[in-house]
Amino acid sequence: MKTFLNHAGYFLLFLLAGCSFERDVTDISFVIGVAQANLSEPWREVMNSEILETAKTYPGVKIVFTNAGDSREKQEADIDKLIRSGIDLLIVSPVESREIAPAIRDTYELMPVIVLDKAIEGYDYSLFIGADNHLVGTQAARFVREYIGEENGTVIEITGSADSLPVTQRMHGFREELRESENIKLAGSFSADWLRDMAEDIANNHLDLFAASDVIFAHNDAMALGVYRALAEVGITDKAIIGIDGLTGAEGGIALVEAGVLKATITCPTGGREAVNRAMDILQERDGLPKKIFLRSSLITRSILAERDSVPGSNAGRSSGDPVVLGFAQLGKEGAWREANTKSIISAAKRSGITLLFEDAELSQKKQIDAIRSFIDAGVDVIAFSPIVETGWDEVLHEAKAAGIPVICSDRTVKVADETLVTTYLVADFIEEGRRAAQWLLEETQDESDVRIVEIGGLPGSAPAIDRRKGFAEIIDRSASHTIIDSAPGDFIENLGYNVMTQFLVRHEDIDVVYAHNDDMALGAIRAIEEAGLEPGKDILIVSIDGVKAAFQAMTKGKLNCTVECSPLLGPQLMKAVIDYVNGEELPLRINTEEGVFPMEVARDFISSRPY
Ligand code: AHR
């Protein structure tokens, strides 16, 4: 990890746009620069104050803020000034994610960078922290559907700045979910640039439309309040208005819900606190650093607030000296990846002083459910499991919830009707892995026409098999020269990969590429290709996922062309989540791990340092 200008004993005076700071490194160990997009939105003021308040809990940490006033050019200049002033780490909340990406990439070559709120494409930053805005939109629409019920109804949407990524994601989530109710129509959509007064003007200009609608959904609470004001002015005070943010404070969404101004708000944490805590993990080179953290958003209504006040906190009933007990239900042992995953969990638990109850479900969902039930009976503090398939978990997870035991999904996701059944997901981005495998292939074969691909899939119904297929197809479908001619499951098991490939070779005369959902199956396919008298890696290109050591060995021999990394080393992050939970911290909704792409040309450079 690089830190900059930390030479002991020298004294520095920096003057930045709108701020200045002094550094005497005998007192200050780290300086964190914060390039804020604007301060016209209350949500961003809260973000900055969370950053400042959290930083105060770390002696020797100094924060330097800049405010871009919503100008991309100004934000680039701010970042430049912060770098030249000698910061150790940059936190940036981008004005606009696409345009600011090059400046973030350049900064990342010099120091760690945390991107807050608006995600940028690729992985050229240390960590992204933000809400899942698609889910936020979905949660809002779920409330609207429930509120309107079976009757015909209309809803109006007030969005933030038209070209901003969170707006697009919230709109998609909202509309997709709304389409599930044919009786509800979207009667209008207006952009008010996140601003209360603009929303008030819009509502004033379309009073009849607003007065006639059943629900008004605004992309933030400030705009929701603007609409309320316009309607209250003409005596309408009972309209169902919902917003997003759920900030505390006088005009914050929580107070507005309590006062009955808003029917509901969806919380959208700013990530300020998390950013400083993670910045310190990065600067102090701690274990278990993720790549992306998606923060939890929750529906808040008056009745939820009342209920919340009566529920005890996450560590209620524990005395501080009690050892933390984690029940972990592993799905089985399909191959090298899983072995490394199990080792990582067992050793991280030991290092963290966590008592681990470990069960191996031997690739049976029933056994995994039984293991979870045994952890509930044992009254563990936290349950974690790596779900063998996506569906079929509702009942047992309801039982865990009823017992007050939080559940963490490690490595894979589940599909459950009630999203509160899972406290947090500690997973890879499987769709992105599939996309990256396809992107590598398109580049590698860009001059070729009629590229015929066979796909060896993972276990049907499992999250990685579903998502890796989806991500790969999404990119391949854009090319007229590439076709997936056949696909069959190999369940992530080497021998099954061999069997599937043997059948493909019988069925198809000219296969150009094998895409395998994991390295083990690719290694099985290599055997089948060699037995058929062909040269893997040359006659047939092979791209797979995981990045296990055996895949690197195959690459150095020219038999495998590329592997996309999916890290099994989830133990440290899992233990951190468990400890954070027990200490009463709210866990994020989803934590994504870091992943690289390794074509065969670089295999020799990395093989000796591969940890699994
Ligand atoms: O869920 C992760 C996947 O499961 C790995 O890619 C695969 O090797 C394992 O079976």
Q: Report the pLDDT averaged over residues 520-539.
A: 98
Strands 597-599 and 451-457: unpaired
Q: Report the pLDDT averaged over residues 327-354.
A: 96
Instruction: Output the domain CATH number for residue 493.
Output: 3.40.50.2300
Cβ-contact 271, 130 below 8 angstroms: yes
- Going from the Cα of 87 to the center of ligand 1, the distance in angstroms, rounded, reads 39
> Among 331, 546, 612, which is best to mutate for testing ligand 1, by the most ligand atoms less than 8 A from CB?
546
Residues 338 and 449 reside in one and the same domain: no
Q: Report the pLDDT averaged over residues 216-223.
A: 96
Angle, CA 187 vertex, CA 181 and CA 191 arms, to 5°: 115
Residue 159 tokens read as 């969005």
- Going from the Cα of 548 to the center of ligand 1, the distance in angstroms, rounded, reads 11
Q: What is the pTM of this model?
A: 0.84
- Going from the Cα of 362 to the center of ligand 1, the distance in angstroms, rounded, reads 14
Q: Report the pLDDT averaged over residues 252-271.
A: 96
> Among 330, 338, 360, which is best to mutate for testing ligand 1, by the most ligand atoms less than 8 A from CB?
338
Q: How far from 548 is each of 123, 185, 322, 387, 562, CA to CA, in Å?
A: 21, 51, 37, 21, 12
Ligand 1 nearest-atom number relative to CA 459: 10
Q: Which residues pair with 330 in a beta bridge?
A: 360
Residues 184 and 262 reside in one and the same domain: yes
| Range of the structural domain that residue 8 is part of | 4-125
**pLDDT of 401-447, one tens digit each?**
999 999 999 999 999 999 899 999 999 999 999 999 999 999 999 99
Q: Whose CA is nearest to atom 3 of ligand 1?
A: 464
pLDDT bin (cut points 50, 70, 90) of residue 3 is very low
- Going from the Cα of 452 to the center of ligand 1, the distance in angstroms, rounded, reads 25
Residues 144 and 254 reside in one and the same domain: yes
pLDDT of residue 12: 37
Q: Report the pLDDT averaged over residues 36-41.
A: 92
**Better pLDDT: 314 or 471:** 471
Number of domains in the chain: 4
Ligand 1 nearest-atom number relative to CA 568: 2
Cβ-contact 231, 211 below 8 angstroms: yes
Ligand 1 pocket, residues with Cβ under 6 angstroms: 334-335, 337-338, 411-412, 464, 492, 518, 545-546, 566
Asked, for residue 413, whether it belongs to a domain, the answer is yes
**pLDDT of 362-376, one tens digit each?**
999 999 999 999 999
Report the amino acid identity of residue 532: A
pLDDT bin (cut points 50, 70, 90) of residue 585 is confident
Asked, for residue 237, whether it belongs to a domain, the answer is yes
pLDDT of residue 27: 64
> Among 545, 566, 595, which is best to mutate for testing ligand 1, by the most ligand atoms less than 8 A from CB?
566
**pLDDT of 454-500, one tens digit each?**
999 999 999 999 999 999 999 999 999 999 999 999 999 999 999 99
Residues 108 and 34 reside in one and the same domain: yes
Residues 166 and 211 reside in one and the same domain: yes
Ligand 1 nearest-atom number relative to CA 548: 8
pLDDT of residue 307: 83
What percent of the chain has pLDDT above 70? 93
**Better pLDDT: 558 or 315:** 558
Q: How far from 69 is each of 37, 73, 195, 329, 554, CA to CA, in Å?
A: 6, 10, 14, 49, 52
Residues 149 and 250 reside in one and the same domain: yes
Residues 52 and 82 reside in one and the same domain: yes
Query: Is 312 a residue whose pLDDT tops 60?
Result: no
pLDDT of residue 148: 97
Residues 149 and 251 reside in one and the same domain: yes
pLDDT bin (cut points 50, 70, 90) of residue 197 is very high
- Going from the Cα of 492 to the center of ligand 1, the distance in angstroms, rounded, reads 7
Residues 486 and 418 reside in one and the same domain: no
pLDDT of residue 311: 54
How is residue 512 annotated by DSSP? -
Query: Is 5 a residue whose pLDDT tops 50?
Result: no
Cβ-contact 392, 421 below 8 angstroms: no
Query: Is 349 a residue whose pLDDT tops 60?
Result: yes
Residues 144 and 245 reside in one and the same domain: yes
Last residue of a domain, one of 239, 267, 295: 267
- Going from the Cα of 549 to the center of ligand 1, the distance in angstroms, rounded, reads 14
Please state, rounded to an integer, the average pLDDT across all residues of the chain.
92
Nearest alpha-carbon partner for 444 in 436, 433, 454: 436
pLDDT bin (cut points 50, 70, 90) of residue 18 is very low
Residues 141 and 253 reside in one and the same domain: yes
Q: How far from 134 is each of 95, 131, 251, CA to CA, in Å?
A: 19, 9, 25
Residues 535 and 580 reside in one and the same domain: no
